[in-house]
Amino acid sequence: MILKSKYLVLLFATLFFLLLGIQVYFMYKTYQVKEREIYRTVHQGLTNYTDKLEEVTRVNKNDMDDLLQKLFISYHNKEISKKDFLDYFEKNRKNTQTPLSNYVDSRFKKEGYKIAAKIEYYSIVFIPDSTRLIDKPIVLYETKNKVETPGISSSGKWITSSSVTSLENSTIKKDNSFLIKSKTDFEILNIKSIIFKELILLFTCCIILLISVLILYIITVKNLMKHQKQIEFLHSIVDTISHEFKTPIATLKVASKALKKGFNTDTLLLIDRQIIRLEKLMHQLHEDETEGNINEIDSEDWDFFIQDLAFTYPETQFNLENKIAQQLPFDKNLIETIIKNLCENSVKYGASTIKIIVENTQHHLSIEISDNGQGIDKKEWKNIFEKFYRIQSNNIHNTKGLGLGLYFVKKIIQSYKGIIEVDSIIKKGTTFKIHLPYES
């Protein structure tokens, strides 16, 4: 059952993380699709904006082309310096930056897009001799918002027109054409916040779904663990009660046989004690045990415990040294379980004489039970208090058990924050020493 529960929890966890991965992948792909859609819209809206630069910059496109042609020729012929050549583009960029930025901002003001754009020449080649005029890109137009990571880049190239020169009576065509390669970059600086706003409902639903599944998973696991503990607790109760029933039933059987042989007042008292014990065990199945409900142990109860054992096991000699003359704050039924389980364990493993010493000193109850039985191998000492544990090598007697007696003894002692010690010699006997603290 426990193994099956672990597999179910593992399967549930695997499916949850699989769902989590699918959701994350779905949201990521949705983000990418929305990003491409927005960039496509922006690109379409600004596709022809370079053709309207004459409106934006108030410079006629043909005049602009002529100016660039003359500038390229002058620079190629070394009529102007490289500094003057580059200064022209820098001056042009600064002069057109404000009107270009205003145009781009107004174009997508309604959508709230914060757009950065840039046009640059990354190659200018004089065609006749393949001379490169620039060794790094120069910016022709740029908005105030700077492009850092282009969302869309488009390239273009064209050839400028050649000029014609007349010499006296003949006309000579001179090829002064240039191959220009340019690149236009767009970036939407607030693309993440825009997509998040547009997809916030979808993202929220996905997150709520994941959290709901996680909460259901946690609740299911908690309920499973709770039911598992309840089942284990129920099994423990059944084991405890069934084990505790063994002694009074065995005692009643012996008492019944004794009554058949002849009437005896002591036998009737023994039967009464065992019936009372059985009734208390039955009550434990239906009522919660509380500290305020305990039946404290009296000084004469110790004698009754041993009398019952002596009656049940007449072939074994029980010697009690009772040094207690007062009532102690321990549950009578639990202490009886300790005494009888340890003594019956001694009988089971061949003891013919069992000595029990009980005394209280300095707010401590001390119980010592020693026997002359088969003894316990030292390597077994740490295992004998485990549930269902059996010492196979020495378990050679007719009386068999479930391996629960010493387990119950240990649990009761732990509940009182006490300790139990064992000392044993093979073929000589075993001694159990118990110390239970208490307050007056």
- Are residues 80 and 191 located together in one domain of the fold? yes
- Are residues 190 and 294 located together in one domain of the fold? no
- Are residues 304 and 156 located together in one domain of the fold? no
- Are residues 314 and 180 located together in one domain of the fold? no
CA distance 412 to 366: 14
Convert the pLDDT of each residue in 20-51 to its tens digit: 888 888 888 888 888 888 888 887 777 665 55
The contacts of residue 161 (CB under 8 Å, 6+ apart) are 65, 69, 177
pLDDT at residue 11, rounded to an integer: 82
Residue 239 domain flag? no
- Are residues 160 and 299 located together in one domain of the fold? no
- Are residues 190 and 316 located together in one domain of the fold? no
The tokens describing 104, both together, are 């781009």
Instruction: Output the domain CATH number for residue 412.
Output: 3.30.565.10
Residue 209 domain flag? no
Q: Residue 425 sits in which domain range?
A: 289-437
> Residue 322 — φ and ψ, nearest 5°?
-100, 105
How many domains is the chain built from? 2
Convert the pLDDT of each residue in 88-106 to its tens digit: 889 988 888 888 888 888 8
Residue 214 domain flag? no
Give how far the C-alpha of residue 143 lies from the chain's centroid of Cα atoms, to the nearest Å: 49
Residue 221 domain flag? no
Closest CA to 247 of 329, 348, 351: 348
- Are residues 153 and 295 located together in one domain of the fold? no
Convert the pLDDT of each residue in 130-188 to its tens digit: 889 988 999 988 888 998 888 888 888 888 876 544 444 444 556 788 899 988 888 89
The pLDDT confidence band at residue 335, using thresholds 50, 70 and 90, is very high
- Are residues 189 and 298 located together in one domain of the fold? no
The pLDDT confidence band at residue 365, using thresholds 50, 70 and 90, is very high
Whether residue 57 has pLDDT greater than 50: yes
Residue 65 domain flag? yes
Is the pTM here over 0.75, yes or no? no
Percent of the chain surpassing pLDDT 90: 16
Residue 278 domain flag? no
- Are residues 186 and 317 located together in one domain of the fold? no
> Residue 141 — φ and ψ, nearest 5°?
-135, 145
The contacts of residue 44 (CB under 8 Å, 6+ apart) are none
Q: For residues 171 and 146, is the Cβ–Cβ distance under 8 A?
A: no
- Are residues 12 and 128 located together in one domain of the fold? yes
Residue 327 domain flag? yes
Residue 347 domain flag? yes
- Are residues 179 and 317 located together in one domain of the fold? no
pLDDT at residue 432, rounded to an integer: 95
